[in-house]
Amino acid sequence: MGGKMHRHHLFWPLVVLGALLLFNLIYSPDFFSLAVRGGNLYGSLIDILNFGAPLILVSIGMTIVIATGGIDLSVGSIVAISGAMACLTISKGTDPSSVLLVIGAVLASIALSIVLGMWNGALVTVTRIQPIIATLILMVAGRGIAQLITSGQIITVSNSNYEYIGAGSLASLPFSIFIVAAVLLIASLLTRRTAIGLFIESVGSNPEASRLAGLRSRTVILTVYVFCGLCAGIAGLILSSNVSSADGNNAGLWYELDAILAVVIGGTSLNGGRFYLMGTVIGALIIQTLTTTIYMIGVPPEITLVVKAFVVLAVCLIQSEAFRKTLITRWKKRNYPAEQEVTRHA
């Protein structure tokens, strides 16, 4: 039973998340307190879910891309572009509080992110550029596009309907959680209840063999990049609506790296071929919990990144089977000289 459990792919990520939460419980018991303020649940756990929502979304998209053996570095830029597009549309509207305007802005942003995803997919499938380079193009250019859209300024909007996406609540929980849940549900159903998941893993293992077996590898790859762009676009909407403004320079900065980290912590191999959506979600939650913990316990900003690096290193080492084995053999051999002595004297 125990052996089975610890071989489950979610075991180690869950252990790490549990350890982080346990640390917080000991350090500040308030961490788990939930209060109701203004009809909404209020507490650190809610914060983690709310601020973690965009990262989880981006990471879900990233997982699927990585499963095909690719990678998408442009997600951070798409986050910025999508937020900028939505805020620009709303600020240009005649009636800045109308619902229709918000729907239009959201649709425009989502359409734009799908196009950007297609661009990535086309570069990878049609021109056969390596994914890391193909998406690097949009990663760099995308910041420029976002700044073009915002003309280098921070666009502030005041529209309660738009604010609802990232800062509103439904059934006393942040609305963004429901968006994440919906996307996660759709992604899981599509990949685990239909053949699409199998296609993706097959393309990730060997695109050429999959093609010869009758799979349209290109279509599959194009689709995953579009999906990843879509996820990043929605994340951009949540992020910008949470602060009611679009910042082309900083929105979603380094998100691609956090997302890749979340995917790796979740147990998905960067080589492609297999993926774990729930693992990724837990990975993203670990990252967000770590960030919140660092803010709560008051680590000086100069060493924040070092602390983060150590925790991430520890997480990766724990996850590594080879490292665990070495550790266990060392542990077993620790009494060896002494035992030898005992046997000799006996």
Q: How far apart (Å, rounded) are the C-alpha atoms in residues 220 and 113?
A: 18
Report how far apart, in Å, the C-alpha atoms of 104 and of each of 15, 65, 67, 107, 179 are.
43, 28, 33, 5, 18
Q: Does 326 bind other proteins (CB under 8 A)?
A: no
Across-strand partners of 245? Answer: 156
Could you tell me the smallest distance in angstroms from the CB atom of residue 58 to other proteins?
14
Q: Which amino acid, residue 30?
A: D
For other proteins, which stretch binds (CB under 8 A), given 6-14, 204-212, 256-264, 294-302?
Answer: 294-302
Helix (H) or strand (E) holding 15: helix 11-27
Q: Does 30 bind other proteins (CB under 8 A)?
A: yes
Q: Does 247 bind other proteins (CB under 8 A)?
A: yes
For other proteins, which stretch binds (CB under 8 A), given 66-74, 290-298, 315-323, 333-341?
Answer: 290-298
Q: Does 295 bind other proteins (CB under 8 A)?
A: yes
Could you tell me the smallest distance in angstroms from the CB atom of residue 76 to other proteins?
13
What's the burial of 239, exposed, middle or buried (CB within 10 Å: 0-12/13-18/19+)? Answer: buried
Among 12, 31, 225, 227, binds other proteins (CB under 8 A): 31
Report how far apart, in Å, the C-alpha atoms of 274 and of each of 18, 55, 114 are.
25, 21, 24
Site map (CB under 8 A) of other proteins, residues 108-137, x = contact: --------------x---xx----------
The answer to whether the CB of 278 falls within 8 A of the CB of 13 is: no
Q: Does 341 bind other proteins (CB under 8 A)?
A: no
Q: Residue 15 or 137: which CB sits closer to other proteins?
A: 137
Q: Residue 155 or 261: which CB sits closer to other proteins?
A: 155
Could you tell me the smallest distance in angstroms from the CB atom of residue 199 to other proteins?
19
Q: Does 176 bind other proteins (CB under 8 A)?
A: no
C-alpha 336, offset from chain centre = 45
Could you tell me the smallest distance in angstroms from the CB atom of residue 93 to other proteins?
19
Q: Give me the torsion for CA of 69, 222, 132, 209, rounded to 10°.
A: 40
The answer to whether the CB of 236 falls within 8 A of the CB of 79 is: yes
Number of other residues whose CB lies within 10 A of the CB of residue 59: 32
Q: Give me the torsion for CA of 11, 13, 18, 21, rounded to 10°.
A: -170
Q: Residue 67 or 155: which CB sits closer to other proteins?
A: 155
Could you tell me the smallest distance in angstroms from the CB atom of residue 48 to other proteins?
10
For residue 18, which of 289, 261, 321, 284 has the smallest C-alpha distance? 289
User: CA-based diameter of the chain, in Å?
Assistant: 94
Q: Does 265 bind other proteins (CB under 8 A)?
A: no
Among 202, 210, 217, 292, binds other proteins (CB under 8 A): 292
Q: How many CA atoms lie within 13 A of 201 on its CB side?
A: 13
Helix (H) or strand (E) holding 221: helix 217-243
Q: Does 249 bind other proteins (CB under 8 A)?
A: yes
Site size for other proteins, by CB under 8 A? 38
Could you tell me the smallest distance in angstroms from the CB atom of residue 44 to other proteins?
5
Site map (CB under 8 A) of other proteins, residues 198-237, x = contact: ----------------------------------------
Residue 272, token pair as written in the block:
């492609």
For other proteins, which stretch binds (CB under 8 A), given 3-11, 105-113, 247-255, 271-279?
Answer: 247-255
Binding site for other proteins (CB under 8 A): 28, 30-31, 37-38, 42-44, 47, 51, 122, 126-127, 152-154, 156, 167, 239, 242-245, 247, 249-251, 291-292, 295-302, 304
